[in-house]
């Protein structure tokens, strides 16, 4: 074996001396801490010991772990600090115990801080529920921000029914909030998107006054057809991926709308088939088509609203 160099031996000796010195210092500190705790002369819960040492700061490092917490307004902190305070007499010698009166004052101040923290930030108070955006159409209600109105423009809708529809449709659009959008599709033998623009060219509009005026002019220009075939209009509405669809008619649905929705408006989940888009149906001033519109609503997580003449 190769002999160790004198430099290596010297380093080992220095390491042993440093280790011995460090161990001795830590042992002395531990004994001093133990004597400090014992000098309180009473149960730990009834005495509070404060000690400072510059030597301890030079020999040890204390790690402080802070948990992430939500930001609290600065004024809340100021109110909390103004409401209670704790004063510590640092002039006491390290080996002297805090009196029971002083300890009681500390506890009272801590209780006051806790009470004020609950008052300011709330201990069990919950945030007020956020109101959902909603649309209404002939009494039918739907939650969300994007809605498609699919309206019957067949021949039987002429006259009072059409007037009632136009009035309610404009009212429903005007009642939308700034964060809600709409699209309208009329149908007879085929679908007629508003302004003649089908998706993707046709897009949702906000209910600002200029858009409402455009819709009024468009509705008045619609020419009534001969049949009640909403399937293509509902399919067009689905492509827009709205939060809800309102489907209005006054007659018997004569196409495959019900069957198509059973396939196109469902998705498979772990809990079974779920509706993709809720469809709320309205039967306007008629008893014809009652069963079909009710079935569409029930099978597509919507509501069915029959409207009688006033």
Which tens digits make up the pLDDT trace of 98-157? 555 565 565 566 666 666 655 655 544 455 555 569 999 999 999 999 999 999 999 999
Instruction: Give the HSE-up count for residue 23: Cα atoms under 13 Å, Cβ half-sphere.
Output: 6
Looking at residue 21, what is its pLDDT? 53
Cβ within 8 Å of residue 156, ≥6 positions away = 228, 250, 251, 286
Please give the C-alpha separations between residue 305 and each of 189, 247, 279, 282, in angstroms, as whole numbers: 24, 10, 12, 5
CATH superfamily of 134-307: von Willebrand factor, type A domain (3.40.50.410)
As given in the structure block, the two tokens for residue 93 are: 């010698």
Is residue 308 classed exposed, middle or buried when 0-12, 13-18 and 19+ CB atoms within 10 A define those classes?
A: exposed
Distance CA 274, CA 169 (A): 29
Looking at residue 16, what is its pLDDT? 52
Looking at residue 12, what is its pLDDT? 47
Distance CA 196, CA 181 (A): 18
Provide the mean pLDDT of the chain: 77
H or E, element range at 149: strand 146-152
Q: Rounded to the nearest 10 degrees, how much is the dihedral formed by the CA atoms of 246, 252, 257, 262?
A: 90
- pLDDT of residue 53 exceeding 50, the answer is no
- In the chain, domain spans: 77-122, 134-307
Q: What is the pLDDT of residues 210-263, one digit of tens each?
A: 999 999 999 999 999 999 999 999 999 999 999 999 999 999 998 999 999 999
Percentage of residues in the chain with pLDDT exceeding 90?
56
User: Which segments of 222-289 does DSSP mark as H helices, in order?
Assistant: 231-239, 257-264
Looking at residue 310, what is its pLDDT? 82
Q: What is the pTM of this model?
A: 0.60
Looking at residue 159, what is its pLDDT? 95
């Amino acid at each position: 074996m190769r002999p160790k160099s004198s430099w290596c031996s010297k380093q080992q000796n220095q390491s042993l001396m440093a280790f011995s010195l460090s161990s001795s210092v830590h042992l002395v500190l531990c004994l001093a801490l133990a004597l400090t705790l014992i000098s309180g002369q009473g149960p730990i819960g009834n005495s509070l010991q404060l000690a400072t040492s510059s030597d301890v700061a030079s020999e040890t490092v204390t790690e402080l772990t802070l948990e992430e917490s939500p930001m609290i307004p600065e004024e809340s902190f100021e109110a909390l600090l103004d409401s209670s305070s704790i004063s510590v007499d640092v002039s006491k010698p390290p080996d002297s115990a805090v009196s029971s009166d002083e300890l009681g004052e500390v506890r009272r101040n801590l209780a006051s801080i806790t009470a004020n923290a609950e008052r300011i930030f709330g201990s069990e108070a919950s945030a007020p529920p956020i109101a959902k955006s909603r649309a209404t159409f002939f009494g039918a209600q739907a939650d969300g921000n994007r809605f498609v109105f699919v309206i019957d423009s067949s021949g039987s809708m002429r006259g009072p029914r059409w007037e009632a529809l136009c009035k309610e449709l404009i009212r429903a659009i005007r009642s939308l909030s700034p964060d809600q959008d709409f699209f309208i599709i009329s149908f007879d033998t085929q679908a007629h998107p508003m302004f003649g623009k089908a998706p993707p060219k046709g897009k949702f509009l906000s209910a600002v006054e200029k858009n409402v005026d455009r819709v009024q002019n468009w509705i008045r220009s619609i020419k009534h057809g001969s049949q009640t075939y909403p399937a293509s209009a509902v399919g067009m509405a689905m492509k827009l991926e709205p939060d809800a669809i309102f489907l209005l008619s006054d007659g018997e649905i004569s196409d495959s709308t019900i069957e198509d929705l059973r396939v196109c408006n469902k998705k498979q989940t772990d809990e079974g088939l779920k509706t993709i888009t809720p469809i709320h149906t309205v039967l306007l001033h008629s008893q014809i088509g009652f069963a079909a519109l009710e079935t569409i609503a029930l099978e597509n997580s919507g509501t069915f609203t029959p409207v009688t003449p006033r």
